[in-house]
A and B are shown apart, each in its own frame.
Chain A
Amino acid sequence: MNRRFLRFIRVVKTGLVNFVRNAWLAIAAMAVMIITLLIVLFSVITNAAFSNTIAQITDKIDVSVYLKDSAEQTKVNTLIADLHTLPNVRQVTYLDKTQALGRYREQNANNPQLLSAISATDNPIPATILVKPKDLNKINDVEKALTNGSYTGVIDQISYQGDRKAAIDKIAHATNILRRAGIVAVAVFMVISVLIIFNTIQMAIFNRRDELTIMRLLGATTWYIRGPFVVETIVYGIISALVSVGVIHLLFVASSSALQATSLGLLDINYASQYFSMHFWMLLTGQLLLGMLIGAASSTVATRRYLKFKSK
């Protein structure tokens, strides 16, 4: 067998044995790591759910341009063509009077009074152009372009409800803050967790510093001594990642079956759950990599001072 490989096997084996021997210390370090990874995972999922909620809201919002019944079709066509050229316009849908009526009926299917009121007269619904903006925050631009005076003979009214826009803006703003707060919280917890893990490992190493010195004197290389510690902390990372993903999974199971909840304020739990199961392997891999990285990095740093050679 290759000697290098043999040494690698021994390093891994020693690391695993140490992991079992230092079980209590391991539990302390892993508890911190699990919390960190839980927060990371939770923020990733909530972020996705928020984005989804925002996207859904955005999709429902359009500017309805009601046209005068007297408008000439050529001018209407010009307007539609002009709308297409606006930078912030995602979609333009033209509904003639009949289609507009159909849409109105659909929207108010549950309101027989309104429906009967409409049936009583000759189609009062004007032809309508539905404009969907690319960016909610720039919805004003669309309105401005339409009210600059060139379409007075065509446009009767623009239904751009200011209140609705303000609400949407608030939502977007709130999610932005939440997202940033999430990133900050994750960063802070990562730092704290690395420090605690670092400290825990340093305690373990301090207890065994004589051993490290002896190994050094016998001619063990840096990685032969450090390796087992790194393996041990990587195991912490793996277990913590599995636990964190497991906990989130159980939370979704509990929220859907026991609580029967589908949403929590802005957080669409159904979507979040769906997102979690759809991206399960990706999220699990990400958590594993992150946990292993935190573990390996902290033990590498923590062993450094005991492995230095005297330079004076």
Chain B
Amino acid sequence: MILLDRVTKTYGKVATPALDRISVHVEPKEFVIVVGQSGAGKTTLLRLLTREEKPTSGKIIVGGIDYDKLHDRDIPLLRRKIGVVFQDFKLLPNRTVFENVAFALEIVGATNHEIRATVPKVLDIVNLRGKEKRLPMELSGGERQRVAIARAIVRQPKILIADEPTGNLDPKHAWDVIKVLERINHYGTTVLLTTHNQEIVNKLKRRVVTLAHGQVSSDRAEAEYKI
């Protein structure tokens, strides 16, 4: 589902690359956790997958799409296939919770009827029923996080990328978020999760890819957190 083959990313003329010949292969429906210290290259990895950045060298294939052959005009289509939960949420500030989630559907041309039917269900999943009309600034960090998740999953993507989705949350809410991710994975979505949270990694018992200094330092199934 996700294939990175000797991918290197160097920013500008910096000597040390952010990612150095990384090779990772993620099967469909897999749940993979990417761990690593700040600056290890986690965010760069995700930005390459969403084609916010282009690799300096190496091959990336996601969902059968070879990024080398991807035209600019097709990037929107690629992004619609991937759900992303951003570390800083990236919610539209002037839109309500409902509108934020609905926006993901609007851009793919979903009808108003479809939107009215789908959005409440997704808000149910992330426990945000009753807050549809709030603006992002009226929500707590955890609630914003869940809006971001709702928006990422509302299109039922084949791949979900979550960048530190529990970063700002207390343990109880963090675990709620993880449960949502597990549930989505259970229904067949490939999940790529980056986190710092040792407890979560240890409880999840899933495949763990550890990044250190831009390289994969370990890649083990059902691993525990260890840096």
Q: Which chain A residues have a beta carbon within 8 Å of chain B's beta carbons?
A: 1, 3-4, 6-7, 10, 210-211, 213-222, 224, 309-312
**Which residue of chain A is the closest to B50 with respect to CB atoms?**
A217
Please choose the segment from B73-81, B187-195, B202-210 that sits at the chain A interface, where 4 or more of its residues have CB less than 8 A away: B73-81
Inter-chain contact B111/A217, CB cutoff 8 Å = no
Question: Which of B50, B75, B106, B151 is the one whose CB lies under 8 Å from A10?
Answer: B106
A6 — which chain B residues lie within 8 A by C-beta?
Answer: 109, 111
B14: A residues at CB distance < 8 A: none
* Residues of B near any A CB (own CB < 8 A): 50-54, 72-73, 75-80, 84, 86, 90-94, 103-104, 106-109, 111, 151
Chain A contact surface mostly:
helix
**Option from B50, B52, B107 in Cβ contact (under 8 Å) with A221:** B107
Knowing A211-B92, A214-B92, A309-B75 are in contact, say whether A219-B107 is a contact too (CB < 8 A).
Answer: yes
List residues of chain B with CB within 8 A of the CB of A213: 90
CB atoms of A310 and B109 under 8 A apart: no
Contact partner, A224, options B86, B104, B107, Cβ 8 Å: B107
A-B contact count, CB below 8 Å? 61
Q: Is the CB of A218 within 8 A of B107?
A: yes
Q: When the two chains form their complex, are residues A217 and B107 in contact, meaning their CB atoms are under 8 A apart?
A: no
Q: Is the CB of B107 within 8 A of A220?
A: yes
The answer for the CA separation of A210 and B91 in the assembled complex, in Å, is 9
Contacts A3-B109, A7-B109, A214-B90 aside, 14 further interface pairs with beta carbons under 8 A come to: A6-B109, A6-B111, A211-B92, A211-B93, A214-B91, A217-B50, A217-B52, A217-B86, A219-B76, A219-B78, A221-B73, A224-B107, A309-B72, A309-B75
CB B125 to nearest CB in A, in angstroms, measures 19
* Chain B, Cβ-Cβ closest to A9: B112
- Taken together as a complex, chains A and B put the C-alpha atoms of A300 and B47 apart, in Å, by 27
Contact A217 B72 (CB under 8 A): no
